[in-house]
Amino acid sequence: MDLLLLFLGFIFIILGIIGAFLPVLPGPITGWVGLLLLHLTSVIEKDWQFLGITLAVAIFVYLIDYVIPALGTKKFGGSKYGIWGTSIGLLIGLLFFGPLGIIIGPFAGAYLGELMYDSKDSKRALKAAFGSFIGFLFSTGLKFVVGLIFAGLFLSQFWEYKSSFF
C-alpha cells in the first residue's frame, strides 16, 4: 500500500508542476495532494503542521492566481474581455502550438478580447494585452516555483526514508 501511495503522490507532484501551465489543473493544490499522499504512508511521519502550512501556501497561490492577471490587465487599462481572452488564448495556444502557445496564446487572446471590447482603440488593446500577459507570466511563474518547491520537499522526504520503502 505504501508503494501505491508513493507512486500516486509522485504522479500528483508531477501534475502539480504541469498545472502551473494548464489552467484546468489547480497546480499548487494538486502538488499538495502529492505531499499528503506521501505523508499517509506508514513510512513517513505525519507532520500535520508541515501539511497545514503547505496547504495554506497552495490555497493562497491558487486564489491569487485569479487575481494577478486581472491586476496586470487593470494596471495597463484593460477590461474583462482582455482577461477572458488571455485564458482562452492560453488554452488554444497550448492545444495547437504546444509550449510556444503558452507564450503567444495569452497575449493574442488578450489583444483580441480587448479589440472585441473596443475595436477602435488598438493602441489601448495592445497595452492592456501586454499587462494581461505580464500578469499571466507572473502567476504562472509563481505556480511553477511552488510546484518545484513541493517536488523538492517530496523528493527530500522520500530520500530520507527511501530504504524503508524498498
pLDDT (tens digit per residue) in 143-154:
999 999 999 999
Higher pLDDT, 122 or 51: 51
Measure the CA–CA gap between 113 and 55, rounded to whole angstroms: 34
Cβ partners under 8 Å of residue 44, min gap 6:
38, 157, 161
Measure the CA–CA gap between 106 and 96, rounded to whole angstroms: 13
Measure the CA–CA gap between 118 and 125, rounded to whole angstroms: 8
Handedness of CA 81, 107, 24, 156 (dihedral sign): negative
pLDDT (tens digit per residue) in 89-121:
878 987 888 777 877 888 898 899 989 988 787
User: Does residue 75 have a pLDDT over 90?
Assistant: no
pTM of the model: 0.79
